[in-house]
Amino acid sequence: MNAVPQLTTRLPKVGTTIFTVMSALAQDHDAVNLGQGFPDFDCDPRLLDAVNAALRAGHNQYPPMAGVPALREAIAAKIEALYGRRYDPGREITVTAGATQAILTAILAVVHPGDEVIVLEPCYDSYEPNIELAGGKAVFVPLGRSAEAGDFRPDFARIAQAITPRTRALILNTPHNPSATVWTADDMRALADLLRPTNIVVISDEVYEHMIFDGQQHESVARHADLAERSFIVSSFGKTYHVTGWKVGYVAAPAALMAEFRKVHQFNVFTVNTPMQHALAAYMADPAPYLELPAFYQRKRDLFRAGLSGTRFRLLPSQGSYFQCVDYSAISPLGEVDFCRWLTTDVGVAAIPLSVFYSDGTDRRLARFCFAKRDETLGLALERLSRL
């Protein structure tokens, strides 16, 4: 008899993500999909023209492992102009196959079996599986300084209590998914003070760096020398330029950290789509598209919030990203997963329950909407939600 291989899963807690589930449910019920975080509008035609030009120019073979030099130069120039820190394009910037790959690679580069990684939750769903694949242990610290539903500010006393001799890294995310909270300069200084006597590495997920509202500035770790010296900074061209399907991002880090990052990067993806890299390098010569992004998304945020203001949803602050969280407890006693399913099937608008962003499924009757949609899409969703 032919023996059938019996596998032991590396990720026993992982199933189909809620984003896939809710998007499929939205499609089945012809619901407006405000669940999964992607735009339903096109990118700038000039960017498509740049891709076409790169294809026609013959940029169709392997680029350098770390990325096309012109793109790494453009990234370094952008970071220096915005945040005041110069990264060496040759040794300190790597182009990645999206931000999710970048985060996994950073974790695999620094986390060894038995190491602990502090994860501030609610959090993006790839963090814990990435840590488990590296043989590490995720140590979850809830965001929030009060018991109020909707407080997602960092609690540094709790973070300090979570640090042990085995703590290898901390994952930071600002602007924050899912809560749309933005860390302040004081928050960054407090984190720097806390980590200064330690050897902890920071993995700073900054994919929403250009979506920040009401005159605030993005506090990249690149602005803070003590943090920058111990940090991987992750960002996403997909988020910034409305091309999430391209899966192109980048990492900036000090040379010693980047050397370890590239050891892993070269063996999990090696390199990234060549014509897209050349196109992005050319497109970045004009900074207007990312400099104008805060106003672009703030208008959509304000439109969406104004439409929700007449409903029984309680709006939580949306300081950055393209998400709006709501408290629906005045509408329904259902738990978050059941409410979001009902909202999709019976009301015709898909949302994401915040409980899926917690390791223990914390349920406070909160849901997340994505407003990175055409005005017509938001208008149809608001029309349906106004009936609640």
Q: How much of the chain exceeds pLDDT 70, in percent?
A: 100
Query: Does residue 1 register a pLDDT over 80?
Result: no
Q: What is the spatial distance between Cα 322 and Cα 38, in angstroms, rounded to a whole number?
A: 9
The answer to whether the beta carbons of residues 323 and 316 sit under 8 Å apart is: no
Residue type, 339: F
Give the pTM: 0.96
pLDDT in tens, 361-376: 999 999 999 999 999 9
- Where residue 97 falls among pLDDT bands split at 50, 70, 90? very high
Residue 110's alpha-carbon distances to 19, 103, 106, 260, in angstroms, are 28, 11, 7, 8
Helix orientation angle between 255-268 and 98-110, rounded to the nearest 10 degrees: 110
Residue type, 153: R
Q: What is the pLDDT of residue 14?
A: 86
Structural domains of the chain, ranges and CATH numbers in brackets? 18-43+292-385 (3.90.1150.10), 46-289 (3.40.640.10)
The answer to whether the beta carbons of residues 290 and 300 sit under 8 Å apart is: no
Q: What is the spatial distance between Cα 37 and Cα 333, in angstroms, rounded to a whole number?
A: 26
Q: What is the spatial distance between Cα 371 and Cα 368, in angstroms, rounded to a whole number?
A: 10
Contacts 24+ apart (CB under 8 A), 197-201: 198/163, 198/167, 200/118, 200/163, 200/167, 200/168, 200/169, 200/170, 200/230, 201/110, 201/168, 201/169, 201/170, 201/230, 201/231, 201/232, 201/257
Q: What is the pLDDT of residue 196?
A: 97
Query: Does residue 273 register a pLDDT over 90?
Result: yes
Helix orientation angle between 293-308 and 375-385, rounded to the nearest 10 degrees: 20
pLDDT in tens, 16-40: 788 888 889 999 999 999 998 889 9
Q: Is 197 helix (H, G, I), strand (E, B) or coil?
A: coil
- The average pLDDT across 207-229 equals 98
| Mean pLDDT (the chain, rounded) | 96
Q: Token digits for 229?
A: 């010296």
- Where residue 342 falls among pLDDT bands split at 50, 70, 90? very high
E strand map for 182-273: 201-205, 231-236, 249-252
Query: Does residue 274 register a pLDDT over 80?
Result: yes
Gyration radius of the chain's alpha carbons: 21
Query: Does residue 99 register a pLDDT over 90?
Result: yes
Q: What is the pLDDT of residue 19?
A: 84
Q: What is the pLDDT of residue 86?
A: 98
pLDDT in tens, 129-184: 999 999 999 999 999 987 777 889 999 999 999 999 999 999 999 999 999 999 99
